[in-house]
Structure 1
């Protein structure tokens, strides 16, 4: 395929109304991206590490699972194709040019050119969104409604993006537009365990996927969860998965997913 891109995502179809999307777990790099990155970026530090492992229980619960294979350093699947900014504060775009911390992502003059980026849009971004759209349509046709859960994680302290320490659970519903308020309230209650902090529509209100596909009036509800990585892994390279910590947060995540499965709009 053009620009050494193939198999842009992994997908497993379930038998419930729930689709779980993981757009930032990919670690594969097109050649032009790999050759242009600054050395510090080669550890892919802005990846949503280990989420397929963290949520591996969801497959047995009947959810459909969609996971990106290519790194967000090539193209960000949670941004709109017109690259309209998500936030007025600091953020990253459809084609990231800086790390979360603000350091330039590419060596001078070595960012992928417009031809390469068009290929990433056509062969990475578009197939992922085509799969979301087709699966939500299938689920709605079968069950009368569909629920989209966009799963993310992030380092808990990034001064460029947000002040202080990020709460453990950051639920985003496009300020209430992507699902009924009752659902976000119930999900927040699940996260209120005493061991973790949570917020609804705080710094992270949901990215393009949540905002675009969450249409409650069309019987499709969407929720994003930005999970602080300290809850299940080491936030510095080599970004180890920490099973004991992960098992604790997985107990909460299982209840979170169970509630999404039980939800009826």
Structure 2
């Protein structure tokens, strides 16, 4: 794949020599390579931009490859382009020029400044000094968003064709405290399954039971029910399952200093345990039962 900033690949897929199970781990928001051309347009510094990252999530799951699980990870930052959105969730207030007629300009995510090309960083600060061109936005979508999803879709399809089923575990991290003071204390983990529509209940149940068994407090779908990836790749009626795992950053890092904490290696072990627990699911039998139910 061509380098997106002159030297770094936009994303990579790490595949095991021998697959353990039809389970793909994906980290779309841990990218930390910032193009100079992008930084020249921003009104906030790199430190503020990096608060949007799911810091170190790619490192937490990378070792799963040696255990037989493929891992996909983005290298571009989510504040540059967010692949966990529809391809054209765009805020017309951000751009110079006319957006395509098919652009989704009215979604809740666009209204909040967090469309495909985000208007604000994670802490709510405006990213850009001035409007950017529509051509710039379309270029990012064509060069990064679409290749990312083509590669993920190809991996999902190949996995399904090989095993007869597939599960995508979409791995994210969240700030320990929300922007609103009224928001209740966040749990250690939030499982997002689009309120039971992106995967069979058994998948979410196993994630929840495994992590509770490791001492985590676990919530479901609030405040994160899963984004475009969970919704788009999860089709349990046809044997495709997607679940989002949102990990509280205070568990594994110092959020202010953006440094790994003492528990970092423990969390790596916990992800390995989660992968093994999901791999034990009799996917072939469940697929047969699903087909029979239809």
Query: Scaled by the length of structure 2, what TM-score is found?
Result: 0.81
Q: Is the 8 A contact 2:61 2:71 kept in 1?
A: no
Any residues of structure 2 matched to 1:232-243 within 5 Å, and which?
232-237=252-257, 239-242=258-261
- What's the counterpart of residue 13 of structure 1? 15
Partner of residue 138, structure 1: 158
Which range is displaced more, 247-256 or 155-164?
A: 155-164
Q: After TM superposition, list the pairs within 5 Å mapping 1:1-150 onto structure 2.
A: 4=5, 7-14=9-16, 15=19, 16-43=21-48, 44-83=50-89, 84=104, 85=107, 90=112, 92-107=114-129, 109=130, 111-150=131-170
The answer for unaligned runs of 5 or more in structure 1 is none
Number of corresponding residues: 261
Q: Which residue of 1 aligns with 2:232?
A: 212
In structure 2, the partner of 1:223 is 243
The answer for the alignment partner of 2:200 in structure 1 is 180
Alpha-carbon distance in structure 2 between the residues aligned to 1:162 and 1:253: 31
Counterparts in 2 of 1:88 and 1:115: CA distance versus 1, 3 Å:
closer
Contact 2:3–2:10 under 8 Å retained in 1:
no
> What's the offset of the Cα at 1:89?
9.0
Change (3 A) 1:162 1:192: farther
**TM-score, scaled relative to structure 1:** 0.90
The CA deviation at 1:34 is 1.1
The change in CA–CA distance for 1:81 and 1:207 in structure 2 (over 3 A counts) is same
User: Post-superposition shift, 1:74?
Assistant: 1.1
Paired with 1:30 and 1:63, the residues of 2 have a C-alpha distance of 30
Deviation at 1:192, TM superposition (A): 1.3
RMSD between aligned residues: 2.4
* Unmatched runs of 5 consecutive residues or more in structure 2: 90-103, 287-294
Q: Do the aligned residues in 1 keep the contact of 2:234 with 2:242 (CA within 8 Å)?
A: yes
Determine the C-alpha separation between the residues in 2 that align with 1:117 and 1:13: 31
Q: CA deviation at 1:3?
A: 7.7
Does structure 1 retain, via aligned residues, the 8 Å contact 2:109–2:115?
A: no
Larger Rg, first or second structure (1 or 2): 2
State the alpha-carbon separation in 2 of the partners of residues 161 and 205 from structure 1: 20
Query: Structure 1 residue 82: deviation in Å?
Result: 2.8
Shift of 1:35: 0.7
Per-residue deviation, 1:91: 6.4
User: 2 CA distance for matches of 1:162 and 1:117?
Assistant: 35
| Cα gap change, 1:195 to 1:145, in 2 (>3 Å) | closer
- With over 3 angstroms needed to count, the CA separation of the structure-2 counterparts of 1:88 and 1:117, relative to structure 1, is closer
Is the 1:8–1:68 Cα contact (8 Å) retained in structure 2?
yes
| C-alpha contact (below 8 Å) 2:190/2:247 kept by paired residues | yes
1:196 aligns with one of 193, 207, 216 = 216
